Amino acid sequence: MKKTINAMLLLMVMVMMSACSSLGVKPWERGSLSRDDMLMDADALDLAFDEHIYFSKEASSGGQGFAGGGCGCN
Amino acid sequence: MASPCEILIETDDAELARQLCLSGQREARRIEQKFSRYRDDNIVHQINQGQGQAIDIDNETYRLLQFADRCYQLSDGLFDITSGVLGKAWRFDGSNRLPGQSQLDELLCTVGWEKVEFNPQYVRLPAGMQIDFGGIGKEYAVDKVLTDLKQHCDREIMVNFGGDCHASGPPAQQGAWMTGIENPLKPGDAAEVIRLARGALATSGDAYRFIVANGKRYGHILNPKTGWPATDSPRSVTVAAGTCTEAGILSTLAILQGKDAESFLDAQQVKYWCYR
Amino acid sequence: MQLKNKKIAGLLSVATCTLLGGNAQAESETWDIDSALLIYNETDRVSAIEPVINAKKDLGDDEILSMKLVLDGLTGASANGAVPSSQPQTFTRPSGKGSYTTQANETPLDDTFHDTRVSYSLNWDKPLDRNNRRNLGFSFSREYDFTSVGANALWSHDMNQKNTTLTGGLSLELDAITPVGDTPQGLTDMDDRIRVSSSEDRTLLDLLFGVTQIIDKNSLFQVNYSLSQANGYMTDPYKIISVVDSSGEPAYYLYEKRPEDRLRQSVYGKYKRQLDNKDIITTSYRFMSDDWGVRSHTLDLTYRVKMENGYFIQPHVRYYQQSAADFYHYFLTDTQAIPEFASADYRLGEMTATTIGVKVGKTLSDKHVWSVRLEMYQQSGDSSPDEAFGQLQNQDLYPDVDAVIAQFNYSFKW
């Protein structure tokens, strides 16, 4: 498991280093990206509900946000 | 301020009126001296000559930069105080000479507000870049003079610098300030008289500064992304808003929207007058 | 949105106030309210009703305060961990008062389960300068036998002309558990009713690091790594595990017991793209692994179709797969030594789960949005594992969980 995680971290760092300098848009090209439904946390209430439901039914939680559930259900 | 300036106040106290006008004139001069880019003894000159070094700034300069930053963001980059250098390629003298694209491309490399680093202590421009408060300086002066004068006077005041004006409230006798909007097709004639009770008006347009080439008209308000003026812009746009600074920004952005000027202004839900 | 349709006058006016040093009407006059009602219903088991309201206000200069209130009313029965038997089984209720009986060949369900949870959280997001933001959050949650307080801090830094955002943060949560009928001693006989304390606690510390990157005008991705350390009481005080005799019939029941530490790591990636026809595709993947031996993969996909007149339809699929915790057992046998830890909680078993759903909504003028979401969730595992013997071979040792989720959202300004 450690190996997988390390490989993933390495991949992440590589993606960061290689991608970030060449990717991107100019400030005036942000039209589509600034729309509500293109935000990473669009449908925030749905995401919160899902996180809560799956927290109480499965052994995993978090990922996009913190893993804590604040709930006695699991 | 290369235009006639007036401060109007309805009073029978001549001494008060004289004092207010003097103090308004002093403040307007101060702002012009501090932020004009045609001087070599002010902060703007220091910043532009910084050669990539950080230049210490005072609070007022910081607030103007912060405001320019906000406008840049809100306009998705259409309002950019580093775009003044593009004017080097254009001569708006009524002639028909268009700039070469290669010259524009070269100048565009030195345009881009996002390359400027600033904070309350200092501002740092990459070498070769320049800032220019021309797009907000006059309107800021109108608002600032009015705000200052109001602190010494409980009468309503109107400050008018060359057609960009701001009234603190309606004059008791007349109920509104009579303000004329110039018709760009007939310079010198008031096309419409607006009764302004309170708030501000600002006008942008190419009434005097444009060139005509290949049968097309090119106004002096340049798009900082392309180096070219918008095509199919209104000849002049006057916007009414709470302050002169807001009205000025909105009218400038409207010109840059070209044929979409009216729909942009409709979306802002402000009063405006466009002449095409 | 193109500038020609974008309303900037209000924000411009705020900026002007700051410039002129006037008493900024810096704050916007309205609150953005998101409200929703969730109805969750499992076939023959738990059902829940959960209203939520989230209020958000821009205090000016991009400083944003939000508050959230969640109510959660739960009723119904839930699996107690024991295996089905060819004979009726009787269990003492967790309170010690009374008992309930499960019919032969049925999955034992504890029907004493109802609870109301109230949870409040507060979030304060503030720009520190042009490229840095700080987000502080506090949460408090209370239910009948459980209290939780939490605080978290997230810092984000924009780079490359705001095309890259680095995020780092930590969260601390303190939970207190006061089980009905006190905390049982783990791995002791249910009928002996050995109690060790009236309350237990645990702490959770989470670290999160992430990168969000804009790829082009229409797409962006996010990658997060998180590390979560939990210490303290993580056993479910109401769950038991059957100890079966040589014929596979339950001889007695032990309270379950889980380790007091858990270290979890996860890697999460999300990609979002707007297509030429303005539809939006969102996919995410999470890999999670912990030192209890659980590993999981989660894949999530939504596709938002833009329709005429502000309507949208958004189908959703989710696939989840996990391996069992090392100490998960369907049952124990009366000939084996009692292990250090053991749990028969189905949530720690090997399983796959799929969700399919659809959301339909409409954006009315001025950002009023309503939407309805309907989803079906199905969880299944190995109902006839190899280790089953005797009468256990005739039983469903890992019954499916089927749930229907219905949700109504309404967002407005107030």
Q: How far is CA A55 from CA C122, C295, C347, C348, C388, in A?
A: 21, 15, 10, 12, 29
Strands C115-127, C64-75: pairing kind: antiparallel
Residues B88-137: tens digit of each pLDDT: 888 777 677 788 888 888 888 889 998 898 888 888 889 889 999 988 89
Compute the nearest-CA separation of A6 from chain C (Å).
10
Give the pLDDT of residue C24: 36
Give the pLDDT of residue B187: 63
Mean pLDDT of B148-172: 86
Secondary structure (3-state) at B67 = helix
Cα of C264 vs its chain's centroid, Å: 15
Q: How far is CA A51 from CA A62, C238, C377, in A?
A: 7, 23, 13
Q: How far is CA B128 from CA B90, B119, B123, in A?
A: 18, 20, 14
Mean pLDDT of B212-234: 84
Compute the nearest-CA separation of B131 from chain A (Å).
18
Contact A33 C218 (CB under 8 A): yes
Residue ranges and CATH numbers for the domains of chain B are 5-275 (3.10.520.10)
Give the pLDDT of residue B131: 92
Task: Give dist(CA B230, CA C194) in Å, integer.
Answer: 83
What is the domain partition of chain A in residue ranges? 39-63
Q: Is residue B1 predicted with pLDDT exceeding 50?
A: no
Mean pLDDT of B202-229: 82
Give the pLDDT of residue B54: 85
Q: Is residue B175 predicted with pLDDT exceeding 70?
A: yes
Contact A58 C351 (CB under 8 A): yes
Say which residue, C366 or C394, is predicted with more confidence: C394
Give the pLDDT of residue C23: 39
| Rounded (10°) angle between helices B59-74 and B14-35 | 70
Residues A15-64: tens digit of each pLDDT: 555 555 578 876 556 667 877 889 998 999 999 999 999 999 999 999 99
Residues 148-177 of C with CB under 8 A from B: 161-162
Residues C301-322: tens digit of each pLDDT: 999 998 888 899 999 999 999 9
Which chain C residue lies closest to B264 (C-alpha atoms)?
C4
Task: Give dist(CA B68, CA B125) in Å, integer.
Answer: 14
* B63, B66, B74 ranked by CB distance to C8: nearest: B74
Task: Give dist(CA B166, CA B160) in Å, integer.
Answer: 7
Residues 106-135 of C with CB under 8 A from A: 115, 117, 119
Q: What would the two tokens of residue C296 be?
A: 């999981």
Please report which confidence band the pLDDT of residue A10 belongs to, taking 50, 70 and 90 as the band edges: low
Q: Is residue B272 predicted with pLDDT exceeding 80?
A: yes
Whether C222 has its CB under 8 Å from any CB of chain A: the answer is yes
Question: Nearest-CA neighbor of A70 among A57, A50, A60, A56?
Answer: A56
Say which residue, A2 or B259, is predicted with more confidence: B259
Residues C66-103: tens digit of each pLDDT: 999 999 999 999 999 999 999 999 999 888 888 999 99
Compute the nearest-CA separation of B238 from chain C (Å).
15
Residue ranges and CATH numbers for the domains of chain C are 1-30 (no CATH), 31-413 (2.40.160.40)
Site from B76, B111, B116, B260 to mutate, A interface, most A CB atoms within 10 angstroms = B76
User: What does the mean pLDDT of chain C come to?
Assistant: 92
Give the pLDDT of residue A17: 56
User: What does the mean pLDDT of chain B come to?
Assistant: 85
Residues of A in contact with B76 (CB under 8 A): 27-28, 30-31
Give the pLDDT of residue B68: 93
Residues of C in contact with B69 (CB under 8 A): 130
Residues 7-66 of A with CB under 8 A from C: 8-9, 12, 15-16, 19-21, 23-27, 29-38, 40, 42-46, 48-50, 52-54, 57-60, 62-66
Q: Is residue C2 predicted with pLDDT exceeding 90?
A: no
Which chain B residue lies closest to A32 (C-alpha atoms)?
B76
Give the pLDDT of residue C27: 46
Give the pLDDT of residue C261: 97
Q: What would the two tokens of residue B256 be?
A: 């840059």
Secondary structure (3-state) at B119 = coil
Please report which confidence band the pLDDT of residue C289 belongs to, taking 50, 70 and 90 as the band edges: very high
The answer to which of A31-35, C19-23, C380-384 has the lowest mean pLDDT is C19-23
ipTM: 0.91
